[in-house]
Amino acid sequence: MSVTVSEIEESIKSLSLADKKVLLRALLEEIEGHQVPGAQANVRTLLTLEALDDVDSDRYVDHDDVKAWAKSLTTAVR
């Protein structure tokens, strides 16, 4: 059975965040200690897809909130 990259990407998009973490953990364990060409790029792609899914699902922190938090760190230390 032949599967295209776009079919795999669509399947990953339909996974829950927990399932994506399980998949990523399994992939990392599989490539640990092995030099698999493109493996790091594949993991990076998986993480990017997960991040895009988070944004699409409104699971993110607003940039202005992050800036305010970072500023509070510098003003709190004196």
* Neighbouring residues of 72: CB distance < 8 A, sequence distance ≥ 6: none
Using alpha carbons only, give the angle 16, 8, 34 rounded to the nearest 5 degrees.
95
Does residue 32 contact residue 43 with C-beta atoms inside 8 Å? Answer: no
Predicted confidence (pLDDT) per residue in 20-56, tens digit: 888 888 877 777 766 656 666 777 888 888 888 888 8
State how many domains the chain has. 1
pLDDT given for residue 46 in this prediction = 85
How many whole angstroms separate alpha carbon 53 and alpha carbon 24? 15
Is this model's pTM higher than 0.85 or not?
no
Query: Which two three-digit tokens encode residue 18?
Result: 């927990």
pLDDT band for position 2 (50/70/90)? confident
Q: Which domain holds residue 49?
A: 5-76
Q: How confident is the model at residue 64 (pLDDT cuts 50, 70, 90)?
A: very high
| pLDDT value of residue 45 | 83
Please give the Cα distance from 6 to 11 (Å, whole number).
9
